[in-house]
Structure 1
Amino acid sequence: MTTIIKNARIYTSAEGCPQADCLVFDGKRIGFVGAAADVDMEKYGDAKIYDVGGRTVLPGIIDSHIHPGWVAKSLWHVRLPWTEDVDELLAFIKKYGEEHPKEECPFLYFEYYPTSMFDEKGPTKELLDTAISDRPVHCQDFGEHLCWVNSKMLELLEVDKDTPDPGPLETFVRDDEGNPTGWIREMAWYKFVDNMYKALGWQPPEELNAETMKSFFDFLEECGITAMADGFIENDDQIRGIYELDKVGKLNVYYDGMVRFWNYEDLSEKIAKLREYQKLYTTDHIKINTMKLFLDGTNESGNSASLHEHIHDPGNFGEIMMETEELAQCMELCNKEGLDIHIHMVGDRAFRVGCDAVEMAQKAAREKGEPWVCRPTFAHCEVVDPSDMGRPAQLGIFINWSCHWSGGYFGEEAMNYYTEEKWRRMYQFNPMIESGATIDFSSDVVTGYELHRAYPFFGMQVAATRVDPEFPLDPEQYPGSMRPEESAKLSVPVLLKGYTINGAKQLRWQDDMGSLEVGKLANMIVVDSDPFHTPAEQLKDINVDAVIFDGKIIKGSL
């Protein structure tokens, strides 16, 4: 069946023809984009014709870094009240424990406490024991890279002063005698979680299957997100569940999966796992072709890789998973295997190491006469030394930024480790864009708590204004609650390009999606307000009236 959309304000994201007022698609593919006056209506005599009344049509949105597995696994977590008062927080935890005895809830997982609630020394297990001591308790920090646990949890994990840290990023903060304090960086605790569950004779409701993940994918439909990259595949059950959704026609999104590795030593093993997933689960909508690495931690927790010493801890430059030579080896192997690599990095030293490694790996490929096919993506890049801003364009590195972080979401916590001058240089992407780099956008949401913030127009508003409507900075210190610097605001054309064609390029789907052009998939959304003519502070209020996926209306109506 042929469908014609006319009387529309169509933003195509295509070079040479950025706007149109009429679009025709037949089945899954677009057959015409341009002026209605140029359409031979007799040729489409039996077509369905929709007059959309001047509404705006955009390419389907691409979220190129999001975590369906983590979101689905988080649904049983207990939400904490948002407060900077530790006594109020502890009172809530204590009351919740009294109302839900350990026979009902053997393990309590709370989220979130503000990262700014504690200084660089962090909280202690003894403090949390004052609220609940009869069972394990876990409190996750707002940045999702630190947690606070009680004595009972450390006991059941079987973690003490003789327990080695799992890695340079995954560590147990310790006192002068080496005893764990109860503050944990990254997922160090998870390496020992089977000990705790065995002792409890209990497992949390964290099954990943088609049923438990369907609400996540329903949310993407509502938002007009028609393609996505998974930050990494949590386990076999997750990718199997996504595959099952697709086989019954309930996966209305193009899904790109990543497999996580930790170092060069385990990379070959993880590549073998990726090949297994490719063989079992590749479909028209599912592809898996990317390796994922966490190179450093977060700026708010002090374990990012920094070019500068921590202001209160001379000699501490943060943590990094590997140095340039090992990372270049990883990239060389990915290139040889025809795979892409997606790297979490937030610190300026991590960014420099990443760029140096790409340069080294590309040089090695040239010297061997091998083509360079690996597509490196650097995710987050929160602080970059000015001298490195031009390197992504020079080296063909994709930069992925989570737009809703652009305001006050993470507050001033990084100033526990950085100078204010460096803090003000965070989240700067316009210099990279001006140098010719390809920037694409995402949400990187990891729990149901924040899933609503994956709404693309919410992210666009925060990036365009540098103001977080939910977590504004102190207006007395920062006029209008705007996160410095004003020059870092992103324009609507940049944002729409990053959420569409640039995202498609990162995921190697640019020939099929990302722009509304003849021959590409009929994946598009109709919105009730033109983002080019909507005040930046109102972008989040734009509504998605209809979503078209593979040529079918899957949400709303035209």
Structure 2
Amino acid sequence: MNKISKVYLKRIIGLAVLAIVTACDQVSIVQSTDWVLTNGRFYTVNDEKPWAEAVVIRDGVFIYVGENKGAQAFVTEESKITDLQGSMVIPGIVDAHTHPGQIELTRYETTFTGNTREEFLAELTVYAKENPGNGWLRGCCWPVQEFVDGNLGPDRNDLDPIFPDRPVWLISTGGHSFWLNSQALQELSINEDSKDPKFPVAMYKRDNSGRLTGWVKEGAAWVRVNEVFEVDTEIHEASMRDMLEILGKHGVTTLYDAGTKGFADRVYEFLSKLDKAGELAIRYEGTYRISIPENVRLAIPEMKRYREVYGGERLKFNTIKLFMDGIHENRSGAMLQPYADDPDYISDTILSVWELKEFLLDLHEERFDLHVHVIGDLATKRVLDAVEMAKEEAGDGFYPRVSLAHLQTVDPGDWLRFRELGVTANFTPWWSGVDVPNPIGEGLEQVRSEDTFRAKAIADAGGNVTFSSDTWNLRNLSPFLGIQVGHTRQYPREWLTPGADPNAFLKPESEKMPIELLIQGYTINGAYQLRMENQHGSIETGKMGDLVILEENLFETEPHSIYQIKPRAVVMEGILMHGNLN
């Protein structure tokens, strides 16, 4: 029996133990299965007892958390005893928004590296001459800050002379904009009569005459990716395994998959096979993703189908994902004030407040939670308004736990509302560095550009703040990268381009988060977001035995070295999953 399968068996036994564990630090019955870990510095993330020296795990469950002396009562000749020799230990990590299913899903034939408009077009021209053909060309990545200026963006008139005879699909550096030539639009039956899925977020950009420019934003493109990309199953599945392995080795024991574009069945069928074989080494929360309004009617039926067809011991489906707006880089964020370089811009969201309120009431009846992409302050405000209305209408016992992801620009008047409405604020801390060049360009004037990602402000106002990787780039998966950048508001110095100021940080300085908050956001707060706080997220008696054992003390490590941390060992439900404790 492999160690992952053993976790499943121990978890079944452990659930029985949960029923008899009391609120005390120990139970009276000693069993031979006890694993006694002593001489550690356990940061428990339990406010009543933040630090401990020792724990005892029985059948995957903590049955003792306290001093070394008390742990000795559980020691027998058969007990497994581990001296941690002063190692720091934190609970298993929750990555509350990531994308394992998207790794190597949409594979691009080539990556273009031109940093300016002129360089990029010249590179396309050379490629076209050296690589003739008539099939799809899928390329990455046009520099969004070079092509987007207010309501102006890339145009197929620049692509058509270079690629007159083959369809071309180019993704932007921001990942939310796509540049298609005339052949691609024709291949996808997109023409001047095509209706935008939701203007101005998920849309086909037109010029003043109504002509399609080939610039396609957000969900208008995402709903078509399965028509453009052919998935290499072997590479995709191997890459998912690799990503889950890397997450696990960095201490992640639970994750929320925030969407798989149009390939959910492919992704969840594979994960279900792993789960049934006892090979899924992470608790995995899957989702249905709403990127255009017409997806709303499908969301609940599809989630029910996913549960029935793919749900298992580790693979669960409880939270639906909704895009409420786009991103600042392509000027599709829903803003209270227009973009600085487009004073005529009028924002909107994928759903109105009333539409979202009605959807929340449906989720209340069907007992699902909701995770919402919001970038602009208008999008955030509308979600909070809808939650407030739905709670008033539903009365006591309103079911959905609502979490808002990204929150790049939030009205300060809404910080307190997260606590008041019980809405979770989810951030990706490693985004909080100084980008050179700024991908938003001139879209936000200085005041707004220096008032972004206000996680600490929301936490200080009493909101539940969680953290995530939101990537399928293996380099950026580590939660310790998130802890470092969230703490310093600076990217690792090794990432900086020549000439960049190593002391520059993303303002405001007040948003440099303390290590305590970052650990909390990656553990108990994330567990709360996913309705797992009673079993996971902290080191307490009665909870499942998940531990991340570190060589370094996070509170003493030089801040610019935190991202390099790799756990000494990772324990999940009392089983050593990664590393060693010799």
TM over 0.5: yes
Distance 1:378 1:194 in 2: 27
Distance 1:286 1:90 in 2: 44
1:347 maps onto 2:376 in alignment: yes
Which residue does 1:459 correspond to in 2? Answer: 482
Distance 2:379 2:115 in 1: 31
Query: For the Cα contact (< 8 Å) 1:209–1:241, is it kept in 2?
Result: no
Query: For the Cα contact (< 8 Å) 1:175–1:181, is it kept in 2?
Result: yes
Distance 1:551 1:100 in 2: 54
Other structure's SS at 2:103 match: helix
Other structure's SS at 2:120 match: helix
Distance 2:344 2:572 in 1: 53
Instruction: Give 1:517's match in structure 2, choosing from 540, 551, 559.
Output: 540
Instruction: Give 1:293's match in structure 2, choosing from 322, 347, 350.
Output: 322
Instruction: Give 2:505's match in structure 1, choosing from 478, 482, 489.
Output: 482
In the TM superposition, what is the alpha-carbon distance from 1:151 to its structure 2 partner? Answer: 3.1
Which residue does 2:527 correspond to in 1? Answer: 504
Which residue does 1:200 correspond to in 2? Answer: none
Other structure's SS at 2:440 match: helix
Q: 1:417 to 1:25 in 2, by over 3 A?
A: same
Which residue does 1:398 correspond to in 2? Answer: 424
Instruction: Give 2:78's match in structure 1, choosing from 31, 46, 70.
Output: 46
Which residue does 1:365 correspond to in 2? Answer: 394
5 Å-filtered alignment, 1:409-424, equals 409=435, 412-424=438-450
Other structure's SS at 1:15 match: coil
Amino acid at match of 2:170: C
Q: Deviations over 1:299-320 (max 9, x none)?
A: 1211111000222333313331
In the TM superposition, what is the alpha-carbon distance from 1:84 to its structure 2 partner? Answer: 2.1
Distance 1:265 1:78 in 2: 33
In the TM superposition, what is the alpha-carbon distance from 1:217 to its structure 2 partner? Answer: 1.5
Distance 1:401 1:141 in 2: 22
Which residue does 1:241 correspond to in 2? Answer: 270
Q: 1:193 to 1:249 in 2, by over 3 A?
A: closer
Which residue does 1:136 correspond to in 2? Answer: 167
TM-score normalised by structure 2 residue count: 0.87
Which runs of 5 or more residues in structure 2 are unaligned? 1-32
In the TM superposition, what is the alpha-carbon distance from 1:148 to its structure 2 partner? Answer: 1.9
Amino acid at match of 1:218: E
Query: For the Cα contact (< 8 Å) 1:295–1:320, is it kept in 2?
Result: yes
Which residue does 2:18 correspond to in 1? Answer: none
Aligned length: 543
Q: 1:297 to 1:264 in 2, by over 3 A?
A: closer
Q: 1:19 to 1:176 in 2, by over 3 A?
A: same
In the TM superposition, what is the alpha-carbon distance from 1:353 to its structure 2 partner? Answer: 0.7
Distance 1:194 1:361 in 2: 35
Q: Deviations over 1:497-552 (max 9, x none)?
A: 00001000000111111111112111111122111111221110112221112221
1:543 maps onto 2:575 in alignment: no
In the TM superposition, what is the alpha-carbon distance from 1:64 to its structure 2 partner? Answer: 0.5
In the TM superposition, what is the alpha-carbon distance from 1:210 to its structure 2 partner? Answer: 5.0
1:176 maps onto 2:208 in alignment: yes
Other structure's SS at 1:414 match: coil
Q: Deviations over 1:355-402 (max 9, x none)?
A: 111111111112xxx521211111111111111111101110001001
In the TM superposition, what is the alpha-carbon distance from 1:42 to its structure 2 partner? Answer: 6.2
Q: 1:64 to 1:411 in 2, by over 3 A?
A: farther
1:56 maps onto 2:82 in alignment: no
Query: For the Cα contact (< 8 Å) 2:496–2:502, is it kept in 1?
Result: no
1:220 maps onto 2:252 in alignment: no
CA RMSD between the two structures: 2.5
Which runs of 5 or more residues in structure 1 are unaligned? 198-202
Amino acid at match of 2:442: N
Other structure's SS at 1:514 match: coil
Amino acid at match of 1:258: T
Which residue does 2:188 correspond to in 1? Answer: 157
Other structure's SS at 1:416 match: coil
In the TM superposition, what is the alpha-carbon distance from 1:9 to its structure 2 partner? Answer: 1.5
1:270 maps onto 2:293 in alignment: no
Amino acid at match of 1:465: T
Other structure's SS at 1:64 match: strand
Distance 1:380 1:451 in 2: 20
Amino acid at match of 1:506: Q
In the TM superposition, what is the alpha-carbon distance from 1:264 to its structure 2 partner? Answer: 7.2
Query: For the Cα contact (< 8 Å) 1:408–1:472, is it kept in 2?
Result: no
In the TM superposition, what is the alpha-carbon distance from 1:481 to its structure 2 partner? Answer: 2.7
Q: 1:286 to 1:394 in 2, by over 3 A?
A: same
In the TM superposition, what is the alpha-carbon distance from 1:208 to its structure 2 partner? Answer: 9.2
Q: 1:262 to 1:190 in 2, by over 3 A?
A: closer
Other structure's SS at 1:480 match: coil
Query: For the Cα contact (< 8 Å) 1:523–1:550, is it kept in 2?
Result: yes
Q: Deviations over 1:100-124 (max 9, x none)?
A: 5537xx3232223332122321122
Identity of aligned residues (%): 30
Amino acid at match of 2:83: D
Q: 1:36 to 1:130 in 2, by over 3 A?
A: farther
1:19 maps onto 2:51 in alignment: yes
Instruction: Give 1:205's match in structure 2, choosing from 232, 248, 252.
Output: 232
Distance 2:91 2:227 in 1: 48
Amino acid at match of 2:476: R
Instruction: Give 2:137's match in structure 1, choosing from 98, 105, 108.
Output: 108
Amino acid at match of 1:424: E
Query: For the Cα contact (< 8 Å) 2:36–2:71, is it kept in 1?
Result: no
Q: Deviations over 1:168-204 (max 9, x none)?
A: 222122222222222221142354567768xxxxx35
Distance 2:289 2:358 in 1: 16
Comparing 35-44 with 172-181, greater Cα deviation is found at: 35-44
Which residue does 2:283 correspond to in 1? Answer: 254
